[in-house]
Structure 1
């Protein structure tokens, strides 16, 4: 592990202007990091996933941002105040290296016993011929060391499948679900792989531990981006059904054994987000409500505009569109960075204790500069004007010349939202990426859970 990976990232003092003692709900929390912002301290690091420990410490997982081979999954632990935790790994950082080629971490979760599961995909000689990527998972002890009880004895395992992993979820029984896209044949399909608590594939799930779902009528590719387990242990997966010109938000619900849930949609699958005024919808994030309804966030195109808007769609428990939500079942959210028409979409979503849904993602201006965004919807799908700047806002991650800024993951810490992402200074040099965390003020810190 190279010691020069841990160079301090200097946050501009300009950021302090965005926090004050009177910060409103949804503004950066001045009690976290520097004015609400915490830097990874590692150049070239792209944060893709975040999880919160019961004691408030924050875990992130990502990759090295193309700074070179061999760095693998990059797992970091921060104290609740936003500083790196030196008791974890090597001064707060652990590298999980599967192969000299690219390793991409897309999921992180904390087990009830405190051990940490990370997952994603790798390029490896273990992959079947004809594909570049395979699923990979690892488990760390509470202090960031490899867990010898998982995988190959070194705490990790590559699975010889042609499968990209975009999301991960833990079941209550300790089994691990990895969702993404099967590359075994074209058109590509939703894919869910289930592994046992020791890292071995689960032979009782689907075929050889994998379930693939092809949406009816699709001709291009179906890709899962989010996965969750409901209180009946049913598996809900969301993403995009057919990435061609007729793409839609795709949602699948599986029974605990991996079989399609016939009580949901059309034999377990639903396509949503398109109507007489919209086309080309796609899903990236998933929230399960306590009443069984499902909120999927992503983006969609409008026939009235060439720009895509962030969107959230809600489904009833049976998979039908909930027309009481937003505008006939969906809410579009605009950000308009720099005062020009924009393209935006949501990458992450999380449900607060009061049932409101916080979304995070990115907006693009006319010059293709990228801006990290957050928004909150109330329980009826309306933009919540009490949050941040009128319900939806751009969060400036750095004071740089036209930087690319992006939120990719959300978590809740004592009622406050932690958004994880990265900023690229667009210098064109290796190491231009830097991982960042932002904690937002919340009026739910003293809120009693429903």
Structure 2
């Protein structure tokens, strides 16, 4: 298992971390501005999002398609054209291979698209979805998660989707419409910014951010929702600014602006069990020295090891630091 977390760039601490320079070297000159998001398709293709306009010298306005051998796809960049007019914050690959792209932008390829869009793997924007989404989200989308039925979850600063009130988290149906039942079950939603969303194998939705309640229920920066959007009052976890990712075994990796969890030193990265209690064997007090602003995980052949990832200067791709 690999755990990735990102935060401000800094010198590597002396506690067993290492910097992975391989990806950066293979990417040549890299990205000319900041990278904020990444997603990997089933065939190993990597999609990278941010504020950049070129990737390894190839036109890629906010979104780039990179092959397993780190070659940037110029056809994708050309199809995207003018691309995104502001930051891409999150990318998810849908079952049909298309991409859900969330961020701060208001146009893509010259077409209005308020902070959410669907793009094919060849770089073509889905205009049918754009028309159905209408006014889109009224503020930044920080996180998107694709679901098996073609719908997706979005989380962020927003309080509306296409003119309908929805605070912090929304489920958007495959046809671009808001899932009204999900929104009704979420009620008043989150009282602060949502930074990240992930879903476990059972469909439970985990949300991290800067909120303290969801639909009036105490939720200190991390919360669990049922598949239908109903807040889970039984889940009890409390951290600083939270970013959350579900691990392959169902546990949760969290990162943020904290150094302890329930009195246990965690170094801004911690592992919780699915009920929200800390895993004391994995939350050992090591970790980045500054705020973690991204966490994700992926399977690896070597069991029992995991990595944390920190952000780097804006022209570089995020680089992982690791501890087994």
TM-score normalised by structure 1 residue count: 0.53
Secondary structure at the aligned position of 2:221 is classed as: strand
Whether the aligned pair in 1 keeps the contact of 2:61 and 2:77 (CA below 8 Å) is no
Structure showing the higher strand proportion among its residues: 1
Q: Which range moved further: 248-257 or 165-174?
A: 248-257
SS in 2 for 1:152: helix
1:103 aligns with 2:86: yes
Structure 2 residue 40 is the aligned partner of structure 1 residue 52: yes
1:282 to 236, 241, 244: 241
CA distance in 2: counterparts of 1:241 and 1:332, whole angstroms = 25
**Cα drift, residue 95 of structure 1:** 4.0
- 1:180 and 2:139 correspond: no
Question: Which string of whole-angstrom CA distances, capped at 9 and with x for unpartnered residues, describes residues 208-257 of structure 1?
Answer: x975444xxxxxx6322110111111111012235xxxxx9611111111
Contact 1:311–1:345 under 8 Å retained in 2? yes
Residues 1:260 and 2:209 are matched in the alignment: no
- Give a deviation string over 1:150-197, Cα, whole Å, max 9, x none: 2317xx7542x544321111111111111123458xxxx961011111
Structure 2: tracts of 5 or more residues without a match: 1-16, 54-58, 108-112, 161-165, 213-218, 261-265
| CA-CA distance at 1:259 after TM superposition | 0.7
Pair 351,115 (structure 1): closer, same or farther in 2 beyond 3 Å:
closer
2:306 is aligned with 1:437: no
* DSSP-derived class of the 1:205 partner: helix
2:101 maps to which residue? 118
Q: Which residue of 1 aligns with 2:299?
A: 352
Cα distance in 2 for residues equivalent to 1:56 and 1:108: 15
What secondary structure sits across from 2:62 in the alignment? strand
Residue 150 of structure 1 aligns to a residue in which SS? helix
Partner of 2:250: 292
1:110 to partner: Cα distance: 1.6
Residue 144 (structure 1) aligned with residue 123 (structure 2): yes
Change (3 A) 1:361 1:29: closer
Task: Tell me the SS of whatever aligns to 1:300.
Answer: coil
Residue aligned with 1:103, SS: coil
The alpha-carbon deviation at position 263 of structure 1 amounts to 3.4
Residue deviations 1:267-295 (CA, integer Å, cap 9, x gap): xxx3x24xxxxxxx322x32213443212
Q: Kindly indicate whether the alpha-carbon contact (under 8 Å) linking 1:346 and 1:360 is maintained by their aligned counterparts in 2.
A: no
- Do the aligned partners of 2:307 and 2:321 also contact (CA within 8 Å) in 1? no
Distance 1:229 1:296 in 2: 13
Say whether the 8 Å CA contact 1:237–1:251 is kept in structure 2.
Answer: yes
Partners of 1:317 and 1:171 in 2: CA distance? 20
TM norm structure 2: 0.71
* Contact kept? 1:238, 1:252, Cα under 8 Å: yes
- Give the CA deviation at 1:143: 0.7
Work out the CA distance in 1 between the residues paired with 2:307 and 2:167: 25
- 2-structure distance, mates of 1:359, 1:138: 29
Q: CA deviation at 1:317?
A: 1.9
Report which of the two structures shows the higher radius of gyration computed on alpha carbons. Answer: 1
Q: Is the 8 A contact 2:66 2:72 kept in 1?
A: yes
Matched, 1:204 2:181: yes
Q: Could you tell me which residue of structure 2 aligns to residue 230 of structure 1?
A: 200
What SS does structure 2 have at the residue aligned with 1:256? coil
Q: Deviations over 1:35-90 (max 9, x none)?
A: x444445x4x322111122222221112359xxxxx99721112222221123131
Q: Hey, what's the Cα distance between the residues in 2 that align with 1:348 and 1:183?
A: 24
